[in-house]
């Protein structure tokens, strides 16, 4: 009887829903299809954060963003963004004069990347220009892709517009192509020098041109660097320039790059500077004229009496030192003007005298 009741209960559960309505019995295949749902390729790419159509290096999402978030995480440099914006404006003008064509330069993005990862991601063929920042005593890398190389050669040698440049795969760049690209790189480096000029004087000098990324290693593979991608369009032609500056190169001016941009003076406040200068000019300073210094014992000082005379090792022609606190300023000769004792200054205020500190 118990087995019969259990069997009847199971059959009833298959034919009755919880609300009391009749339902059709479900097979095992129907249950598996209802419980499992297969994701299509778009949903998988969205979940993992991979998009094959996105080759501009934009922001990642999903699992890819979580993985890449731990790769390079460095402080933001606000002034560096201003410098590169200024570089874009300068390059637009200089490249128009260089090519005698309508050139538009745009800034794609600024990102942080490992130097080794960047070398592995360079699309070949390309020309890599290694340059030196003399004041910073380090190197940087400028990459010109093949599209821009053929476009520059085509424009400078009088190629027709609207026709695609002929490319021969597998051959090295000729001397003419390297010389024309070298001149364009020198123009870009001159603009980079002018872009850094309001912040700090930096001279960028081209060191060499390379076509193999292995020979353009200017830092260790694990070192972090700033990567700036610039897009150059010449009507129906153009390409990309990528500027890479290792963090070791920017380390001497890191404090300048961390300051906030205020006005057109790259972090300077003219109102505060004027107020500070005005207050300094009106500040009162106590200046002392020292005739002589002597070292005596404490017992002699304690035994001094009223009317006792101290002999100074000074004559009317001895030089008198002027001090502001313990800092010597200058020296002069003692004399009299009207009814007051005066000091005639014989030497200017020198930087060495201001920095020297004499113990009391």
Q: What is the pLDDT of residues 86-127, one digit of tens each?
A: 999 999 999 999 988 888 999 988 888 888 889 888 888 889
Residues of the chain with CATH 2.30.330.10: 285-303+312-355
Predicted confidence at residue 32, as pLDDT, reads 47
Instruction: Locate CATH 3.40.1550.10 in the chain.
Output: 78-163+171-258
Q: Mind listing the pLDDT tens digit for each residue in 38-80?
A: 778 777 777 665 555 544 445 555 555 555 544 454 567 788 8
| Architecture label for domain 285-303+312-355 | Roll (2.30)
- CATH homologous superfamily of 78-163+171-258: CheC-like (3.40.1550.10)
Question: Residue 23 — pLDDT band, cuts 50, 70, 90?
Answer: very low
Structure token digits, residue 324: 């502001």
What confidence tens digit (pLDDT) does each residue in 280-326 have?
A: 888 888 888 888 888 888 998 888 888 888 888 888 788 888 888 88
Residue 190: which pLDDT band, with cuts at 50, 70 and 90?
very high
Structure-token pair, residue 60: 């990642």
């Amino acid at each position: 009887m118990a087995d019969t009741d259990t069997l009847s209960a199971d059959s009833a559960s298959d034919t009755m829903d919880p609300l009391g309505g009749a339902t059709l019995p479900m097979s095992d295949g129907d249950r598996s299809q209802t419980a499992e749902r297969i994701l299509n390729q778009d949903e998988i790419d969205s979940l993992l954060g991979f998009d094959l159509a996105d080759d501009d290096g934009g922001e990642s999402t999903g699992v890819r963003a979580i993985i890449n978030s731990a790769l390079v995480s460095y402080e933001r440099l606000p002034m560096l963004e201003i410098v590169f914006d200024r570089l874009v404006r300068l390059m637009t003008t200089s490249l128009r004069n260089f090519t005698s064509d309508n050139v538009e330069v745009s800034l794609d993005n600024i990102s942080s990347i490992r130097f080794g990862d960047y070398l592995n991601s360079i699309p070949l063929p390309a020309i890599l220009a290694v340059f030196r920042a003399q004041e910073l005593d380090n190197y940087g890398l400028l990459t010109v892709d093949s599209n821009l190389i053929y476009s520059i050669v085509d424009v400078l040698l009088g190629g027709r517009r609207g026709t695609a440049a002929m490319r021969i795969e597998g051959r090295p760049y000729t001397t003419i192509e390297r010389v024309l690209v070298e001149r364009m790189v020198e123009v870009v480096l001159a603009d980079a020098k002018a872009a850094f000029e309001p912040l700090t004087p930096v001279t960028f000098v081209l060191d060499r041109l390379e076509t193999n990324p292995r020979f353009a290693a200017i830092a260790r593979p694990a070192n972090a660097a700033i990567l700036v991608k610039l897009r150059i369009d010449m009507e129906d032609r153009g390409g990309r320039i990528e500027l890479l500056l290792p963090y070791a190169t920017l380390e001497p001016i890191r404090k300048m790059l961390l300051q906030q941009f205020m006005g057109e003076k790259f972090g300077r406040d003219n109102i505060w500077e004027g107020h500070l200068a005005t207050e300094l000019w009106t500040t009162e300073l106590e200046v002392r004229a020292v005739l002589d210094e002597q070292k005596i014992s404490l017992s002699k000082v304690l035994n001094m009496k009223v009317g006792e005379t101290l002999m100074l090792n000074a004559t009317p022609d001895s030089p008198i030192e002027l001090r502001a606190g313990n800092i010597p300023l200058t020296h002069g000769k003692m004399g009299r003007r009207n009814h007051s004792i005066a000091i005639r200054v014989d030497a200017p205020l020198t930087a060495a005298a201001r920095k020297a500190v004499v113990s009391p």
